[in-house]
Structure 1
Amino acid sequence: MQHYEDLYGLIRQDPEADRYFRSLPNFVRESISQRAQSINSIESLRDYAENLTRDDE
């Protein structure tokens, strides 16, 4: 599993992560951006997004 410095390094260097991040609702992207230092892989990005969207259901 590839790890990056933070969310911004991840989406800059991983096209799949960038597409996934762009597909998320605005409120999810904003919440994730506030925790950018904690997100260093596509797996952590997906996990965090799923946790945020699960609360909506």
Structure 2
Amino acid sequence: MQREYADMYALFRHDHKAEAYFESLPDYVRDQISMRVKNVNTFDDLQGYADNLLRGDG
């Protein structure tokens, strides 16, 4: 089970793989995810948001 963090920034402080993944995303995806920092608490959350945005399900 993944550890859950308070927000995306806390996730990045503890999981550098998550931060590297975020940085590899297109600008428009990063912008959209950045508006939801409180809802990104795990790497799975991050990937899920990114996958939806990349598919256009935003």
User: Corresponding residue for 2:44?
Assistant: 43
2:30 aligned counterpart, secondary structure: helix
Ranges in structure 1 where 5+ consecutive residues have no aligned partner: none
RMSD: 1.2
Ranges in structure 2 where 5+ consecutive residues have no aligned partner: none
The total of aligned residue pairs comes to 56
User: Corresponding residue for 1:31?
Assistant: 32
User: Is the 8 Å Cα contact of residues 4 and 40 (structure 1) preserved in structure 2?
Assistant: yes
TM-score w.r.t. length of structure 1: 0.92
- In 1, the alpha carbon distance for the partners of 2:13 and 2:22 equals 11
Cα deviation, residue 12, structure 1: 1.8
TM-score w.r.t. length of structure 2: 0.90
Residue by residue over 1:17-44, the C-alpha shift from the partner in whole angstroms, topping out at 9 and shown as x without a partner, is 0110000001100100100000100000
Identity %: 45
- In 1, the alpha carbon distance for the partners of 2:47 and 2:8 equals 11
